[in-house]
Amino acid sequence: MVNNREAEHRPSGLAGLLALRYSLQWRITAAFVVLVLLPISWLYFFTLDVMETHPGLLATLFFFFAFSTGVVFYWSGQLAKTLEEYTRVVHRLEAGHGACHYLMDQPDELGRLARAIHQTVETVRTKIHQLSQDKTKFETILESMIEGVVGFDHMGRILLMNSAAEQMLRVQSERVRGKLLLEAFRHRELEGLLTQALNTGKAQKKQMQLWPNKPQTFRVQVVPVWTDQRRLLGAAMVIDDVTEVRRLEQMRTEFVANVSHELRTPLTSIKGFVETLLDGALDDTKVARRFLSIINEETQRLQRLIEDLLQLSRIESQLGRVVEGQSYLEPEIQRVRNLLEPIAADKRIALQVDVETNLPLLPLSPDNLKQVLVNLTENAIKYTPEGGQVSVRATRGCDSVILEVQDTGIGIPEESLPRIFERFYRVDKARSRELGGTGLGLAIVKHIIERSGGRVTVQSKVGVGSTFTVTFPVAEE
């Protein structure tokens, strides 16, 4: 092998090849001049003068010429073998086997050539390997992105596209690569955004719908890509589905508006009656008592609203499944029955309870379980006319406990069912406020159940009644 000192002073691959080329050219030229041209010149100049006086010299010259020619042919053969060795070394390197060690150890031109080529090939191989690793990392990152990414050249032709972009645009990257955007995906607004970015050299951003029959909102950003010399290479398009973000923003806006309205209504009522009392209504005991009773009701309503808001906020601030305790369903149902039976009796509503015995533990604290039972049962009583019926049933399922609260009330319209568990959503706002509801009860139920790993559903028909079904997971003992 080549020692370290030689490796330190070894020329680069290209320099080694050039040095070898000049060395071979010099040697062949020198051999040709010395062994061929000089004998021929001597033969020419001395033939006329010397041939008559020294006839043996001509034979000697011819012998020397033949000998020189043989030496030249011998050297040519050696050179041919050397070139064959060069070719074999190159083929080995092309096949990835590396140069022969015995060739690299030789001190002649072949050894220098083998070392030079080996060094060049190893350098190129290292750079290719690094580029391959960088390409793999880039493709992995690109494919793991949830945003759609599309790359374009300076003419607007598609260069690359990740899986997220394929799903959003409903195309296959192999089929659209090399095409213009409008040829691959007919969307004038999207094409205009790309064209504007390429023409102006400035980033463009816009929210749009890509599919007219699908209510999805996408945020599209197009950023021009430049070289170090400020030459436009192309553009990168990033597509982000912001449908859920828009929905949450809308919910937040509605929530703030609803909270403001719900707080303002009882406060306005309280303020009005207090001002009336201060203006002289206190002198009339009967009127004052009635006003104070209304103020008390509005204060209690305001208190319930604030308590529900605080409880909902506490539940929503807990991420993932939360198990705060364990409890049995049967005793909690009996407690809620004792609590709400007088209210049902006032409306002549039959409150029926049917609970299967030996139900397993549930992963809810007694307070949270009571909250779920009270909210569902109280709602059923509120929205059931006099003489109706409310049934509470609990049975054991497969690795679960199923609770059903069924009523013969006014029912829920079909179009309202998907939103029934939203905060402050009411089917009949006037009736709900009249009955003292805050609009947060079912939202609290849903959050408590889902935080414990369960689920809640509803089935309803207007004029027939509603059935709320809760599936509780079984607690781990």
Structure tokens at 444: 């609290």
Contacts of 167 (CB under 8 A, 6+ apart): 148
**How far, in Å, CA of 77 to CA of 236, rounded?**
60
Q: What is the pLDDT of residue 408?
A: 93
pLDDT of residue 3 exceeding 90: no
β-bridge partners, 350: 389
CB of 247 closer than 8 Å to CB of 255: no
Please count the helices (runs of H) and the strands (runs of E) in the chain.
Answer: 16, 10
- Please report the DSSP string for 321-354 in residue order: ------B-HHHHHHHHHHHHHHHHHHTT-EEEEE
- 2 against 308, higher pLDDT: 308
Mean pLDDT is lowest, of 69-83, 233-247, 279-293, 295-309, for 69-83
- 84 against 302, higher pLDDT: 302
pLDDT of residue 205 exceeding 70: yes
Q: What is the pLDDT of residues 289-348, one digit of tens each?
A: 888 888 888 888 788 778 877 877 777 666 444 556 888 999 999 999 998 999 899 999
Structure tokens at 276: 């009336």
The four Cα atoms 279, 282, 284, 285 give a dihedral, to 10 degrees, of 160
Structure tokens at 125: 């191989």
pTM of the model: 0.51
The four Cα atoms 169, 173, 179, 185 give a dihedral, to 10 degrees, of -10
CB of 456 closer than 8 Å to CB of 446: yes
Q: What is the pLDDT of residue 17?
A: 44
Whole-angstrom distance between the N-terminal and C-terminal Cα of the chain?
A: 71
- 416 secondary structure, DSSP code: G
**How far, in Å, CA of 94 to CA of 89, rounded?**
9
Q: What is the mean pLDDT of residues 194-210?
A: 92
**How far, in Å, CA of 89 to CA of 72, rounded?**
25
pLDDT of residue 113 exceeding 80: no
Q: What is the mean pLDDT of residues 106-127?
A: 74
Amino acid at 24: L
Q: What is the pLDDT of residues 336-382, one digit of tens each?
A: 999 899 989 999 999 999 999 889 999 888 888 988 999 899 989 98
Q: Report the DSSP pairing between strands 400-407 and 465-473.
A: antiparallel
- 257 against 429, higher pLDDT: 257
**How far, in Å, CA of 90 to CA of 344, rounded?**
97
Q: What is the pLDDT of residue 403?
A: 94
Please give the sequence-ordered ranges of beta strands (E in DSSP) within 277-399, or none if there are none. 350-355, 389-397
Q: Which domains are present in the chain?
A: 4-128 (no CATH), 146-241 (3.30.450.20), 250-316 (1.10.287.130), 329-473 (3.30.565.10)
**How far, in Å, CA of 378 to CA of 304, rounded?**
14
Q: What is the pLDDT of residue 350?
A: 93
Q: What is the pLDDT of residue 240?
A: 93
Q: What is the pLDDT of residues 8-58, one digit of tens each?
A: 444 444 444 445 545 555 555 555 555 555 555 555 555 555 555 556 655
Q: According to the 3-state scheme, what is the secondary structure of 222-245?
A: EEEEECCCCCEEEEEEEEEECHHH
Query: Which of 105, 87, 93 lies closest to 7, judged by CA?
Result: 105
**CA 363 to each of CA 132, 322, 431: distance values in angstroms, whole numbers, following the listed order:** 52, 9, 35
250 pLDDT band, cuts 50/70/90, is confident
Q: What is the pLDDT of residue 221?
A: 95
pLDDT of residue 388 exceeding 90: yes
Q: What is the mean pLDDT of residues 420-444?
A: 70
Q: What is the pLDDT of residue 394?
A: 93
Percent of the chain with pLDDT over 70: 72
Q: What is the pLDDT of residue 228?
A: 85
Q: Report the DSSP pairing between strands 389-397 and 350-355.
A: parallel
Alpha helices in 96-180 (DSSP H): 101-104, 109-144, 163-169, 173-176
Q: What is the mean pLDDT of the chain?
A: 79
246 pLDDT band, cuts 50/70/90, is confident
Contacts of 145 (CB under 8 A, 6+ apart): 162, 164
Q: What is the pLDDT of residue 5?
A: 43
Structure tokens at 477: 């003992």
Structure tokens at 294: 């209304």
- Collapse the DSSP code of 305 into the 3-class scheme (helix H, G, I; strand E, B; otherwise coil) and give the result: helix
pLDDT of residue 195 exceeding 70: yes
Q: What is the mean pLDDT of residues 219-227?
A: 93
- 24 against 186, higher pLDDT: 186
β-bridge partners, 131: none
* Residues present in the chain in total: 477
436 pLDDT band, cuts 50/70/90, is low
